Amino acid sequence: MSIETREPQARHVAQSRRCPICDGPAETLWCLHEFTYGVGDEAVELSADLPYGRCEACDFEFLDSDGERCKHEAVCKHLGVLSPWEIKDIRLRYSMNRAEFARLSGLGEATLARWENGTVTQNRANDRYLRLLAQPGGIDRLLAAMQSATSGARKAALSTRRFRAVRITDELRQEQRIFELRKVA
């Protein structure tokens, strides 16, 4: 890893680090890290500015979860999808917990957790859906559509419960005889 102090691009990095070897204080430095994403013909070379720690007491250098988070954000940028913290920001913007957001959006709560934690990257269709929800008024439109669909379903359910009264007349009986099943000789 080439060591070169840089300005951080990612903002979600722990402020205080401790050395995993001696538990001494560690400063945060930045380096440009190049890595391969994908396999075979689909593989591409990506680069990301990663934070790493350098222990002030024993000079040990290490990458931690903040570095992995920055690598994941570089992959998301390459794929053109929202990063985990951007997904979480959409939910928090509306002051919803995961269960509430899952119920509203129709997405699974566990799926949202995996996307927000960076365990899994959402597909393009779900990314577009999240981007629509992030637009001003997106959640309000979804709520309105859900209420409209619910009231329409309620009306349909009520109308199917009602039976139409049929008045039986001699004329109706005569018409029905035309449709009697008869044995063919």
Q: Residues 40-98: pLDDT tens digits?
A: 999 999 999 999 889 999 999 988 888 888 999 999 999 999 999 999 999 999 899 99
Tell me the β-bridge partners of 26.
17, 55
Rg of the chain in Å (alpha carbons): 30
A 10 A CB-CB count for 111 gives 14
pLDDT digits (tens, 9 = 90+) for 80-94: 999 999 999 999 998
Q: Residue 69's closest CA among 3, 130, 12?
A: 12
- The better pLDDT of the pair 152, 73 is held by 73
Rounded CA separation 41/150 (Å): 48
Residue with tokens 């049929």: 166
DSSP helix/strand/coil, 155: helix
Q: Residue 117's closest CA among 85, 164, 163, 162?
A: 85
Q: What is this structure's pTM?
A: 0.64
From-to residues of CATH 1.10.260 in the chain:
82-173
Predicted confidence band of residue 144 (pLDDT cuts 50, 70, 90)? confident
Q: Give just the sign of the alpha carbon dihedral 145, 151, 157, 163.
A: negative
What is the edge-to-edge ordering of all strands in the sheet holding 17-18?
A: 17-18, 25-37, 44-55, 61-62
- The better pLDDT of the pair 108, 17 is held by 108
CATH code assigned to 82-173: 1.10.260
